[in-house]
A and B are shown apart, each in its own frame.
Chain A
Amino acid sequence: GAGVSQSPRYKVTKRGQDVALRCDPISGHVSLYWYRQALGQGPEFLTYFNYEAQQDKSGLPNDRFSAERPEGSISTLTIQRTEQRDSAMYRCASSRELAGAYEQYFGPGTRLTVT
C-alpha cells in the first residue's frame, strides 16, 4: 500500500521567505510526527499530533516554526522568515495507534535549502 508521502521533495528558498511543507500520512494512521535531520546526524524531533490535536511541540526550535493537522490527516509544517540555519531534511512519520504504538513509518523527506 501507499506509504507516507511528503511534498515537495526539494525546496530551495531565499532567506526571509515563508515555506510550507506537506505530509500525507498512511491512511488510517492516527499519529503524525515531524522530525528534522541535519547532514550526518540522526533525526531530531519537532512535534507530533494525535488526530488533529498537537500533543507535543517541545522540539520546535522557535516561534517561526508551526505545524497543523486540521482534519486529522494531512499535516503542514510552516517555517516563517526562513534563515540559512533552517536548511535540513524535514521528515514526517505516522503510526497507526495512539500511545503505545511502536512503529513509526517515515516518509522520504523534504530537502529544504535556504539561500
Chain B
Amino acid sequence: DAKTTQPPSMDCAEGRAANLPCNHSTISGNEYVYWYRQIHSQGPQYIIHGLKNNETNEMASLIITEDRKSSTLILPHATLRDTAVYYCIVRVQGGSEKLVFGKGTKLTVNP
C-alpha cells in the first residue's frame, strides 16, 4: 500500500502558484520523497525528489517539514499544461527499486 496521503483533487488559476500537499507520517529515516506526475494518458513523469532539505529544479520546488512527516510540491506559475495527476511517493534509495503509487492528486489549472 502507498505510504502517503494526498487530497484527491485541487484547482488552481493559471499563472498562480499551485501548492500540492502530501502526508507521509510513517516515513523512515532512509526514505526519500519523490514526486511524479501523469498528464492525461501519458506515462508518469519524474518531477523532483528530496530527503530532508528543500529542493528546487526547473519544474518545481519541494518543501519538506523538519519532522519529515509532510511535504509540499510547489509549481510557481501553473500553466494549463500542468493539469495532471500528481503522485507523492516515499522510497528507499538503494533498496527495492519499485515505485509505489497511490491515487495522487488531480490538479486542474483553470484559465
Indicate which residue in B44, B45, B101 contacts A44 across the interface (CB closer than 8 Å).
B101
**Minimum CB distance partner of A93 in chain B:** B43
A43-102 CB contacts (< 8 Å) to partner B: 43-45, 48, 50, 55-56, 59, 89, 91, 93, 95, 99-102
Which of B19-27, B60-68, B91-99 lies on the face that meets chain A? B91-99
A44 to chain B, nearest CB (A): 7
The 9 A-B residue pairs with the shortest CB-CB distance in the complex, in nearest-first order: A106-B43, A42-B101, A45-B98, A103-B46, A99-B94, A100-B94, A43-B101, A106-B44, A102-B49
Q: How many residues of B contact A (CB 8 A)?
A: 25
Q: How large is the interface on A (under 10, 10 to 19, 20 to 34, 35 or more residues)?
A: 20 to 34
Q: State whether A48 touches B97 (Cβ < 8 A).
A: yes
Chain A residues lying within 8 Å of B44, measured Cβ to Cβ, are 43, 91, 93, 104, 106
